[in-house]
Structure 1
Amino acid sequence: MDAELAVLAGTAGTTLVTLLTTEAWQCVSDGITSLWRRAEPERAEAISAELEVTRTDLLAAQAGGDVESGSELGAEWQGRIRRLLVTHPEEAAALRAILDELRPITPDAPAVTQHATASGHARVYQAGRDQHIDQR
């Protein structure tokens, strides 16, 4: 699997878990379920049910002050989505579209997307904010 799809799966897992406890949770659930419905229709209902369980678990963890569960659940969904993309790489565009729709309602959504390629003796410096390079 190429690195771009792995990053996409990571972003999707984080976004999904971040939004499952907001008013946008149904939109997230519908989007992710539709992804499975196209790629693996026989698993779509199970995925929908797993999203509900994840939401319930996350809400209970937050109520109990458990701050680690969010990242653990995000990693679980990242893995599921990554495995789906490995088997069905054609769904990457659909996943990007879902994430684009969710971006305006994602709290603290990153405003910067960066891609770079270096070859030969080239160097790439990227920063989402301030960057100071003192090279002599």
Structure 2
Amino acid sequence: MRRGWGMDPIVAAAGTALVSAMATDAWLQARTATVAMWRRIRPDHADGVGAELDVLRTQVLAARDADDEDTEQALAGAWRMHFQQFLADDPGLAAELRLLLDDHLGPVLSDTERTRVASVVMKAETHDNSRVYMSGRDQHITGA
């Protein structure tokens, strides 16, 4: 994991996908896979994670019912931080997180939710005060 450049893209995607999966009919399978991953990697925390996920699902469903995207994003942010710490402790666990995302969380999401989970990561550096232009789409630059 890169340090000092913000959140790892897999962390951002997994945290968002986990919270999005909570509002699906396939939540039980996604929950089971998430707890199983924790049981393999941090067995002493697996039961607590299961209980936390149950509480979190109730909060996500309430936020969706209230059309409260801010709360849902905050809950996803909390899980992104869990996953970020997970990788900070052991960067080699990125493969486990990718497997959870690709095999268990992503497939239960609707096309719209999968699009929400997708992310673009861009990075630019300059050491001589030159300009850097980055764009995820159209870019029009005028002037010198």
- After TM superposition, is the score higher than 0.5? yes
2:124, 2:30 → 1: CA distance? 32
The aligned runs of 1:28-43 (5 Å cut-off) are 28-43=30-45
Which segments of 5 or more consecutive residues in structure 1 lack a partner in the other structure?
none
Equivalent residue letter for 2:7: A
- Percent sequence identity over matched residues? 33
RMSD: 2.9
Q: How many residues align?
A: 136
**C-alpha separation between the residues in 1 aligned to 2:22 and 2:4?**
26
Q: Distance in 1 between matches of 2:37 and 2:44?
A: 12
* 1:128 and 2:136 matched: yes
How many Å separate the matches in 1 of 2:83 and 2:42?
12
**Code of the aligned partner of 2:3:** D
Name whichever of 122-131 and 32-41 sits farther off.
122-131
Q: Distance in 1 between matches of 2:141 and 2:91?
A: 38
1:57 pairs with one of 38, 50, 59: 59
Task: State the AA in 2 paired with 1:79.
Answer: M
Matched, 1:79 2:76: no
Q: Which residue, out of 94, 97, 122, partners 2:96?
A: 94
Whether the aligned pair in 2 keeps the contact of 1:37 and 1:44 (CA below 8 Å) is yes
Q: Does the CA contact (< 8 Å) of 1:12 and 1:99 recur in 2?
A: yes
Alignment of 1:15-30 (within 5 A): 15-30=17-32
Task: Tell me the TM-score normalised to structure 1 length.
Answer: 0.75
In 2, Cα distance between equivalents of 1:111 and 1:74: 14
Match of 1:6 in 2: 7
Q: Gaps (5+ residues) in structure 2? A: none
Displacement, 1:31? 3.0
Question: How high is the TM-score relative to the length of structure 2?
Answer: 0.72
Q: Distance between the aligned counterparts of 2:38 and 2:6, measured in 1? A: 16
Q: Which amino acid aligns with 2:140?
A: H
